[in-house]
Amino acid sequence: MHLSQSTRSVSALLTRWRIFASLSSLPLPLTNSSPAAAPACAETVWIVPLLQHSWYDHVRLKRVFVADGTRHQVVLVDVRKLLMCADRDNTDYVLKPVAEWHGGKVRGIREFLDPENPRVPQMPYVTISTRRAPGVLGWLGLEREGVVAFRNGQHRARYLADAGARWFPVEVHEREAALLREICGAPDDARTAIRPVSLNTAGGV
């Protein structure tokens, strides 16, 4: 049976309408779905002032462990107390004073810590324990002293101390955080001088 011209026209229009309806049901692309439109990721850094350093007057430090659920804490420490405890470490990994380092090592640490670098250095990572203090009270078990060992960052810690840093943050396992605060913790005014700030990937604070 032959269809009339008007019937064929109606059929063609109906087919076009079905195609248009199917296309209009497809999801539209999001206008802000490109990676360039995504906001810059931010990380937290600590700004540590240097009081005796001619090259730059501060450094930036970030956490070692940043994943959610990490069992480590950041503790703001008194540099003098921390290094006093570190000098008691008997594992043969106690560094000499910065003045006795090789010139290349000093330059390397200085360039590594330079705040103009796009890469932010990690803060020192330490562990702390106690042992009997020397003398009669220690022998009787009535007095103990702290012993700090560096898992990472001993060079930067000693360089910062030599550059005039009074306090800086370190990272420690949560089970040792209270002991570290008790023995090496910085005073309250240090928390005013050194605060964590947000740093985006573009380098702005």
When the pLDDT of each residue in the chain is averaged and rounded to a whole number, the result is: 83
What are the residues whose beta carbons fall under 8 Å from the beta carbon of 128, sequence distance 6 or more? 85, 146, 147, 148, 149, 172, 176, 179, 180, 183, 184
Residue 24 has pLDDT above 80, yes or no: no
Residue 62 pLDDT more than 60? Answer: yes
Which tokens hold the place of 186? Answer: 């910085």
Q: What percent of the chain has pLDDT over 90?
A: 60
pLDDT of 89 above 80:
yes
Residue of higher predicted confidence among 1 and 150: 150
* Cβ–Cβ < 8 Å for 46, 123: yes
pLDDT digits (tens, 9 = 90+) for 143-180: 899 999 999 999 999 999 999 999 999 999 999 999 99
* Strand (E) or helix (H) holding 43: strand 42-49
Name the residue ranges covered by the structural domains of the chain: 42-200
3-state secondary structure of 196: strand
d(CA 92, CA 52): 29
Q: Could you tell me which residue, 149 or 33, shows the higher pLDDT?
A: 149
